[in-house]
A and B are shown apart, each in its own frame.
Chain A
Amino acid sequence: MVDILESRRPQIHQIGKEPFAMECDKHSAPGAVSQRACVFCGSRVVLYPIVDALHLIHGPIGCAAYTWDIRGAVSSGPQLHRMSFSTDLKERDVIYGGEKRLHKALCELIDHYQPKAAFVYSTCIVGLIGDDVDAICKKVTQEKGIPVLPVHSEGFKGTKKDGYAAACAALDSLVGTGSTKGISPVSVNILGDFNIAGETWLVREYYRRIGVEVVSTITGDGRIDDVRRSHGAKLNVVQCSGSMIHLAKMMKEKYDIPFIRVSYFGIEDMAQALYDVAEHFGGGRPLEKARQLVRDEVAAIMPELQRYRKDLEGKRAAIYTGGAFKAFSLVRSLRTLGMKTVLAGSQTGNQDDYTLLKDLCDEDTVLVDDTNPLELAKFMREKKVDLMIGGVKERPIAYKLGIGFVDHNHERKLCLAGFDGMRQFAKEVHATVMSPIWKFTQRPRISAAQGGFVS
C-alpha cells in the first residue's frame, strides 16, 4: 500500500466526506511524478495550431523533438506548424551565447518558408546564458518585415498555466494590427479550440448556420492575418478557459470586447454555447436558428446514443484532464450515457473550477488536482472504475489495470466536439467499456478487496 504524500493531501478531496477545501494552482511537488509539463509546454500547445507561422524553439534539441507533429490539430491549408524547428544549442552556445545562431536560424527559415509570422520559444537555459531574445526578434522583424514574436516560456518559470499566459502575451502583440473592415456586427472569435480532428470547423459551421460570423479561430487552424484583425469581432467565445482566458481579458481591456466561457463537448454544453452566443446578440433570429439547429442535431444522434446507453448504464468513470473546464463537460456527457463519474481532476484547475466540479459531481466522488500515476491508480482501483478519460500518460495506467480508456487530449485524431462529436465520444466509450478483451485481464471489480499496491 502506498500513502498519499503529506504535501499532496490538500489537493485531494472526497465529496461529502469533509468540508470542501481544495488547494490548487501550486507548483508540483518535486519527485511527485506530476502529469503536468512545463511553461514551454503551455505556450507550445496553445500556439501550435497557428498553421502559417514559423515556430522556432530556441534551446537544445529535446523540447523541439518531443513536440514534433504531436497534436491532432489539423489545417485547411499550410502545414508549417507540423514541422519541428530548433536552434539545437550545443555546449559552445551555452558558453558563448546563442544569439548569433538564433538570428541566423530565424533568417534562413523565414527566407525559405515565407511564414506570416514567427514565434520564438525560449526554453530553460536561454535566459540563463543571457541571450536577448527580444532584441533578436525585434531585429529580424525589421529585417524580414514580418512579426517575429518572443514567447517567454522558460520551462522552470512557473507552471503550464504561465506558459498559456506567455503565449497569450505573444498573441496580444499581434491583435490590433490588421484591418477590421467589413466585419459583421454579429461576429465572434473562437478562442481555445484547437481544431483537433477538425473540431473548430464543425463549431464554425454551427455559428455560420445561426448567422454569426467567425472573425478568427486564433488557435484552431489559426491564421496570422485573422489574429491581427480579431479585435474587430464583437464577442470572444472562450473554450478551454485556462489557456486563452488571458487573451480574452487583454482584449476586453484594450478593445472592450466582452467574452463568454463555453464548452463544445457534450449535448448540453454545446447547445448552451450556441444559446449564449445567440443571446449575447439579442436572441431573435440567431436564437431561433440555434434552437432549430440543436433540435435537428440532437434528433440525428439520439437513437445511436440510446443504443449505447443501454449497455453503459451504471458504469463508473474517472476523468483526468489538462484544464478543468473540459472535466465539467465530460461529467455531463457521461451522464447522458448513464454513467457516473467517481474520480475527477485536472492538471491546472483553479479554486472556482473545483467548487463547480464539486457541485456537479455526486457524493463520494474523489477530486484531485495535479495528481500522479500512483494516486490515479489507487483511486481508480478503490473506486472500481470501468473507464478512464485522459491523455497519453494516463492510458497505460488504465490499461495495465484492465480498465477501458478514451483519449480526450490534444493528440487524439477523433472529433469529439459538437453533436456529432458526442456521437463519436459515445461510440468510443462504448467500444472500450464493452470490449470482450477485459475478461482476460484481472479487472478490479466492485466486489474486489481493497485496492492494494505491489511494491
Chain B
Amino acid sequence: MICSTTQTRLPQLPDAPFTSTQNACKLCTPLGACLAFAGIEGARTVLHGSQGCATYIRRYMISHFKEPIDIASSNFGEQAAIFGGRENLRVSLQNVSKQYEPRLIGVATTCLSETIGDDVGMFLKEIERETSAEGRPVVVPVSTPAYAGTHAEGFHAAVRAVIEQLAEPGEPGKHVNLFPGMCSPSDLRYLREVLEDFDLPTIVTPDYSDTLDGPTWDQYHLIPRGGTSIQQIQQTARAKASIELSQTNDASRTAGCFLEEQHSVPRHRLPLPIGVAQTDELFAVLERLTGQPTPEKHQMERGRLIDSFVDGHKYLFDKRAVVFGEEDLVVGMAGLLAEIGMVPIVCASGGKSGKMQAAIEDLAPDLTSRVEVLQGVDFVEIEKLAEKLRPDLLIGHSKGYTMSRRLGIPLIRIGFPIHDRVGGARILHLGYRGTQQLFDRITNALIETTQADSSVGYTYM
C-alpha cells in the first residue's frame, strides 16, 4: 500500500528515476516572458496560444505578487489550431490596443502556436502593413515554446528580444545598462538605490519594482505605473557598459551579449550579488565604472554584515542546507552559505543550463566534494535526497513547503513563487543589505530549532 491513510501524509516517494516529472521545480517558458514584459513601461503581454496559458500564468503570478496582472491571450480555437493563429493575433493586438492603450505589446508564443509553426514575425509584419501607424504600439515578439527551457530561458529571451528590437545606435553616453535577471521588486529597488548612490545613470531592464509592487489606487490603472521606458531601452546601445547578473543563462544569447556584439557595449557578467564576495564583485565593477569609491552608506552596510557574521558564526558552522529553485538564485545562495561556514549539500533546480556545477565550484572550491549539484530535477528527486541526507535547513521557494512539512525541516523562503505567505515581492536577496536579511533569517531559523528542541526552553540563547 503506497498511499498513506493519514490525512496529512502524501504518498511515499519513489527511489528510481522516473520518466515523468513529478512536482516540477520549474515553470514554463512563457511565464518568464510575462515577468520580463511586466517590467517595461506601458507594456502589455499577449500570449499567442490557448486562453488557459494566460489565465494560469496570471493566477500563478498574482498569487505571488498580489497585484493585478493582466495578460491577454490570442485565445486559439480549433480553427486557429488548424489554419494558423494569424487572425487571432491580429484581433488580440487590436483589442489590447483599444482597451489598454499600451506603448508596447510583448507577444510570447506558446507550445501550441510553436507546434503548428505560426510565423509570428511574419504575421506581425503583415498586420503592421494593414494597420495605421498612428498610435500603434511597438510589438515585440519572442519565441517561448514551453517544450524548450524553463521560465528562466523565457525571461532572458524576452529581455533580449526587447533590446534587440528597440536599441538604437548613436553617440556613446555616460550611462550603463543593468540586466538584473529574475529578482524581486525589492531587489530591483535596492539595485537602483545603489546605482543612484554611485551617481551612475543606469537603465535597468526590466524593472518591475513599481509595476508588480505598488500602492493602492484611487482609480483603476490600465497599466500600472513604472517600468523601463521605451526611450531608455533605445539608449541601451549607447551605454558605456552593460552589467548582467547571471552565471547560468546562455551568455551568447543575452541582451548584454547582443549589445556587446552589435553595438560594442562592453559587458560585465557577474553572479547575483548574494553574500559578501559576490556583492563585492558588483561594487568593484561600479567603482571601476565611476572611478568612485563605494559610498560610505554601503561600506557601513558591508561592515555591519560582517559584524553580524561574527556574532552568528557558531550557530552556522557545518550546518547543511538543501537549496532549490532558479539556477542563478541557487548558485548565489550556495556562495553565501559557503562563505558563512555552512554547506549547501544539495543545489537543485528544474532548470538545465548545465552551468550550475562549474559556477558553484567556482564560488565554493573547498566544498566541491560535499556539494551535490542537480539539474533538471523535480521535487520528488530533491526530497528523496533530502530525506536521506537530513539537512538542517531547506532554502527555496514556497513549493518546498510540502517537503519541509514532511521532513520536519524548516524552510527559508526565497525567490519565486511565494504562494503561502504575504510579502513575496518584498523579500530582499541582493547586496549587503539583502544578504544581511538572509543571514539573519537563516541564523535565527537554526537558533529557533535549537531552542525548540531544548527540553529546558531557554529564553536566552
Contacts and interface: CB of A to CB of B under 8 A. Distances in A.
B50 interface: yes
Contact of A83 (B22, B110, B112, B221): B22
Contacts of B111: 59-60, 62, 89, 94, 123-125
- By size class, the interface of chain B is 35 or more
Interface string B1-45: 111110111110010101111111011101100000000000000
A33 interface: yes
Given A158-B77, A452-B219, A34 B96 contact: no
B219 A451 contact: yes
Contact of A29 (B91, B100, B145): B91
A94 B20 contact: no
Contacts of B148: 90-91
Given A76-B7, A452-B219, A399 B66 contact: yes
B81 interface: yes
Contacts of B73: 28, 30-31, 33-34
B67 interface: yes
Contacts of B71: 33
B98 A5 contact: yes
B249 interface: no
A395 B69 CA distance: 11
Given A31-B73, A393-B59, A91 B147 contact: yes
Given A27-B75, A34-B73, A62-B53, A86 B20 contact: yes
Contacts, number: 289
A396 B220 contact: no
A399 B214 CA distance: 12
B200 interface: no
- By size class, the interface of chain A is 35 or more
Contact of B91 (A30, A79, A124, A381): A30
Contacts of B146: 59-62
Interface stretch (A63-71, A180-188, A227-235, A326-334): A63-71
Contacts of B72: 30-33
A80 interface: yes
A155 B56 CA distance: 12
A34 B75 contact: yes
Interface string B97-115: 0111100000000111001
B70 interface: yes
A32 B59 CA distance: 16
A373 B56 contact: no
Given A84-B24, A86-B20, A124-B110, A32 B95 contact: yes
Contact of A155 (B50, B59, B96): B50
B289 to A, nearest CB: 37
Given A124-B110, A157-B78, A37 B14 contact: no
A270 B327 CA distance: 50
Nearest to A159: B51
Given A86-B20, A400-B216, A28 B70 contact: no
Interface in B378-423: 399, 402
Interface stretch (A104-112, A312-320, A335-343): A104-112
A321 interface: no
Interface in A1-44: 2-3, 5, 7, 27-41
B218 interface: yes
A101 B58 CA distance: 30
Contacts of A94: 111, 115, 147
Given A31-B72, A104-B19, A454-B221, A113 B11 contact: yes
Contacts of B350: 61
A68 B74 CA distance: 25
Given A89-B147, A393-B55, A400 B220 contact: yes
Interface of B: 1-5, 7-11, 14, 16, 18-24, 26-28, 30-31, 46, 49-60, 62-63, 66-78, 80-81, 88-89, 91-96, 98-101, 110-112, 115-116, 145-148, 150, 216-223, 350, 399, 402
Given A30-B91, A41-B56, A455-B222, 19 more contacts: A5-B95, A30-B75, A38-B52, A77-B5, A83-B10, A84-B24, A94-B115, A104-B19, A105-B20, A113-B2, A124-B49, A124-B76, A124-B81, A124-B110, A125-B111, A128-B112, A156-B49, A156-B78, A378-B220
19 contacts: A7-B95, A31-B91, A35-B55, A62-B53, A78-B11, A79-B10, A87-B21, A88-B21, A90-B148, A94-B111, A94-B115, A104-B19, A108-B20, A109-B18, A373-B70, A374-B99, A392-B59, A396-B62, A401-B217
